[in-house]
Amino acid sequence: MKQLRLVLLALMILPVSLFAQQGTSTSNGPTPRSSAGDFALLFDLGGLAQLALNGFNAAGVDTMNVGAGFGAKYFLANDLALRLGLAVGSTNATQPVDSVNNDEFSVFRFAIAPGVVYNVAKTGAVAGYVGGQIAYGMSSSTRNPVSDAEPDVEASTSSFSIAAIIGGEWFPWSGVSLSAEYQLGFGTSSAEEERTIEGQTPVRIELPTESSFGLGSRGVLTAAIYW
């Protein structure tokens, strides 16, 4: 699996490195791209099947099941950047009950993680940065069984977190970087569901609220492509 990730990473980066615009550089090689107006697309390579958002969610907001998302960074001023992760996922499925009837399922998920990062130190091709981030995630699902004896179920969850960020970004080429970071954050999540059987009063169930606080690595390997 590690070998496969390295091969895929090389296939993605090598063509880009040939055509990427030239950033600020010295005779010793590229230096960090961090001028006002610089823009980058971000790709979380910690899990190749889950591009973008997983590396940008803080502690407490689990977006592993949201699906592939979008990540970007834009420098508002020299060394000061706005970062955003966004993901939306929708699934509809059926489960056969017999040769004629099917139970129906649907799930919708959404997550967003805006943040601000600031480069506090630069050495050669490496920039060290700090910042902050908030994240919000939600999901809703429905289950509609064919059997009248089984309840229709509507469930919803929501999560919120806030975190401090410290990390480093390395530029092997002027238009491509790899970065890693840690986040110290607090997160909370809640969930509820409503069960309805035809002809009866719906039953609402509030599930226990969960909260977490801790330090963890996020976006262990993130690639950025700059313009």
pLDDT at 216 (0 to 100): 64
User: Higher-confidence residue: 113 or 5?
Assistant: 113
pLDDT at 15 (0 to 100): 41
**19-28, 76-85, 95-104: the lowest-pLDDT one:** 19-28
- Alpha carbon distance 170, 217 (integer Å): 17
Where b means 16+ CB within 10 Å and e means fewer, 42-73 reads: bbbbbeeebbbbbbbbbbbbbbeebbbbebbb
Classify burial at 127, counting beta carbons within 10 Å of its beta carbon; exposed 0-12, middle 13-18, buried 19 or more. Answer: buried
For the residues 95-116, what does the mean pLDDT come to?
Answer: 82
- Alpha carbon distance 227, 208 (integer Å): 45
Show me where the domains of the chain are located: 2-226
Token match 């791209």: residue? 33
Amino acid at 178: L
Least Cα distance to 69 among 82, 79, 83 occurs for 83
50 Cβ partners below 8 Å, 6+ apart? 44, 64, 67, 68, 69
- Alpha carbon distance 112, 39 (integer Å): 19
- Alpha carbon distance 94, 101 (integer Å): 9
Residue 46 banded pLDDT, cuts 50, 70, 90: low
Query: The domain 2-226: what is its CATH number?
Result: 2.40.160
pLDDT of 104 over the 60 cut? yes
Alpha helices (runs of H) in the chain, residue ranges in sequence order: 2-19
Predicted model pTM: 0.72
* Residue-wise pLDDT tens digits, 163-221: 888 999 999 998 999 998 888 888 888 889 898 887 788 888 888 888 878 766 555 57
201 Cβ partners below 8 Å, 6+ apart? none
